[in-house]
Amino acid sequence: MTTSRRDFLKTAGVALGAVTLPSWVFESEARADAVADKNRLADAALSTAKRLGASYADIRINRYRFEAISTREQQVQNVSRSQSFGFGVRALYKGTWGFASSRIVTPEEVRRVTAQAVEIARANSAFQRKPIQIVPAAKVVTTWKGAFQKDPFDVPIDDKIQFLLKLNKAAMKTQGVGFVNSAMLFVNEQKFLATSDGSRIEQYLIRSFPSFTVTAINRASGDFQTRTSFGGPQALGYEYLEKYPWLVEAEQAGEEVVAKLKAKSVEPGKYDLVLHPSHLWLTIHESVGHPTELDRALWWEANYAGTSFLTPDKRGKLQFGSKLVNFVADRTQPAGLATTGYDDEGVPGQQWHLVKDGVFVDWQTTRDLAPLLGQKKSYGCLYADSWGSVPFPRMPNVSLQPGKEAVSLDNLVNSVDDGILIYGTGSYSIDQQRYNFQFGGQTFYEIKKGKIVGMLRDVAYQSRTTDFWGACDGLGGPQTYQLGGSFNDGKGEPTQSNAVSHGCPIARFRQINVLNTAVRAS
């Protein structure tokens, strides 16, 4: 039996209509009722925690909605929607954390789960080596909404599918393109936080992730090459799909992936590198974002991504990079995936330097990490990926600041005698302390005597974190600054997923070791 795309959409629409629940809206009378209910639930949790001896407690009542659509060439492969709703309670008892959660959101269940969280903290306190202290947070009663303009969950499924099919068609224009896969993923977070400090905070966040991968095959040799999209995920609504030149990039990707089949393989050696933001954001994520997480620096956390070479004795002393290098952590950055009004313990979004004029100066902190540095406030880096997950330190947006002058890509290329220009992210590897690394990319171009002379392939570069950032001698101006990021940054055990952005300008690095990834040891 065969099914047309129209029949598929009609059937999918009926199925989705049956399972999709109404969104937790911010306007209308329904909102007032919902807020009242959540406040009553919060009162039940916080009063129970106080009665049982907790010195601090908070409750998060959250709803998450997810939508994913994927296609290949002119076929729809998947359409799915899901939703999750529940609450989680943290309690601090005798300097020890306890946490419990439930998907049954009733006053009776809230009281039961809160008592369970306190009991877990009480049991763990017998093994707590040093009581946890938390810095103060101001009382906040507010509502915060992300900067999105068009909620993607209000856009018809067929419009989204048509967008992806047009994308695929654009990529297939170039003769030699074999396959195109495209997808879009949307996340809607509706979060309510109440703390024993008196805060009551509602937040509404949207994240969007369109993507595609184009593949070309040389069937005679068995060689194949791919080119994925450079426009990464952002904390924007459906307007992101309408404003970014996705169709133009898809057609360009088709041309580039075919050209990669014929490109010259790189000769290993030392090269000057000019790195586009579509590539450099990932190097920032791994070599700057992760090592400046304080729990890793203290060796409290090693799961999934290791610890950090940025130990406390290096603060204010280590020359992390050249004097051009300034990294800012920022929970307020427009369109940033980790941008939020408040973190999961009521601390407002803010920005601060991690590296200033090349010197390592600070970490990412939460209310219980800040006292360990002698700091009197948190930077607001606590986050949980679900109502049922324990909140713990997560990365904010970490971005390399652009130069002040209007320096362009051509300006940076002009002074390179023998170098490589790299776009997009590829495979990578980095050690457990975020110090020794290797990064690939998507497309590579040879630079000779200040000119781009042709495409290369099989390129990866290798360095140490401080050597690499110390070799940065040129930054593009604000007009070259772009935002990249990850929709799924894993950390912890059990693993949680955080979304985070990294902005940067085009940047130049001198004499970096380049490998040929096609060479295999005999």
Taking 80 as the threshold, does the pLDDT of residue 31 lie above it? no
Contact residues for 220 (Cβ-Cβ < 8 A; gap 6+): none
Q: E strands, 164-321, where? A: 177-195, 200-218, 223-228, 264-265, 269-275
State phi, psi for 361 to the nearest 5 degrees.
-125, -15
Phi, psi at 280, each rounded to 5°: -65, -25
Q: Is the pLDDT of residue 282 over 60?
A: yes
CA distance 39 to 37: 5
C-beta separation of 285 from 483 below 8 A: no
The β-bridge relationship of strands 451-457 and 264-265 is parallel
Provide the sign of the torsion angle of the four alpha carbons 449, 455, 459, 461, taken in this order: positive
**Can you give the pLDDT at residue 165?**
98
Which ranges of 126-227 does DSSP label H, i.e. alpha helix?
157-171
- Identity of the amino acid at 116: Q
State yes or no: pLDDT of 518 exceeds 50: yes
Cα 366 vs. chain centroid, distance in angstroms?
18
Taking alpha carbons only, the member of 210, 197, 261, 247 closest to residue 443 is 261
Check residue 305 and give its pLDDT. 80
Predicted TM-score (pTM) of the model is 0.92
Q: What mean pLDDT is reported for the chain?
A: 92
* Per-residue pLDDT, 10: 39
Q: State which amino acid sits at residue 331.
A: R
Quick one: average pLDDT of 251-260? 97
Where in the sequence of the chain do the CATH 3.30.2290.10 domains occur? 5-262
Q: How far is CA 328 from CA 290, 355, 401, in A?
A: 13, 7, 7
Give CA–CA dist 149/349, Å, rounded. Answer: 20
At 303 the pLDDT is 86
364 near 292, Cβ under 8 Å?
yes
| Coil/strand/helix, residue 120 | helix
Give the residue, 5 or 405, on which the prediction is more confident: 405
Tokens of 313: 């004795």
Report how far residue 49's alpha carbon sits from residue 57's, in angstroms, rounded to the nearest whole number.
6
Q: Are 257 and 215 in contact (CB under 8 A)?
A: yes
Which of 304, 301, 316, 302 is CA-nearest to residue 363?
316
Count Cβ atoms below 10 Å from residue 404 Cβ, excluding itself.
9
Whether 243 contacts 214, CB under 8 Å = no
All residues at 6 or more sequence positions from 218 whose CB lies less than 8 Å from its CB, including other chains: 224, 261
**Do residues 100 and 111 lie in contact, with contact meaning Cβ atoms separated by under 8 Å?**
no
In order of 61, 62, 390, the CA distances from 387 in angstroms are 7, 6, 8
Handedness of CA 254, 257, 262, 264 (dihedral sign): positive
**pLDDT tens, residue by residue, 133-165:** 999 999 999 999 999 999 999 999 999 999 999
196 pLDDT more than 90: yes
Of 12, 28, 148, nearest to 67 by C-alpha is 12
Predicted pLDDT of residue 1: 37
Q: pLDDT tier at 382 (50, 70, 90 boundaries)?
A: very high
* pLDDT of residue 23 exceeding 80: no
Q: How confident is the model at residue 35 (pLDDT cuts 50, 70, 90)?
A: low
317: helix, coil or strand?
Answer: coil
CA distance 85 to 99: 17
Q: Which residues of 211-229 are buried (b: 16+ CB within 10 A; e: fewer)?
A: bbbbbbbeeeeeeebbbbb
* pLDDT in the model for residue 18: 31
- Choosing among 3.30.2290.10, 3.40.50.11540, 3.30.2270.10, 2.40.10.220, the CATH entry for 5-262 is 3.30.2290.10
Q: % helix / strand / coil in the chain, to the nearest 5?
A: 25, 35, 35
Q: Identity (one letter) of the amino acid at 249? A: E
The amino acid at residue 61 is: I
Q: CA 124 to CA 97: how far, in whole Å?
A: 8
| 422-476 tens-digit pLDDT | 999 999 999 999 999 999 999 999 999 999 999 999 999 999 999 999 999 999 9
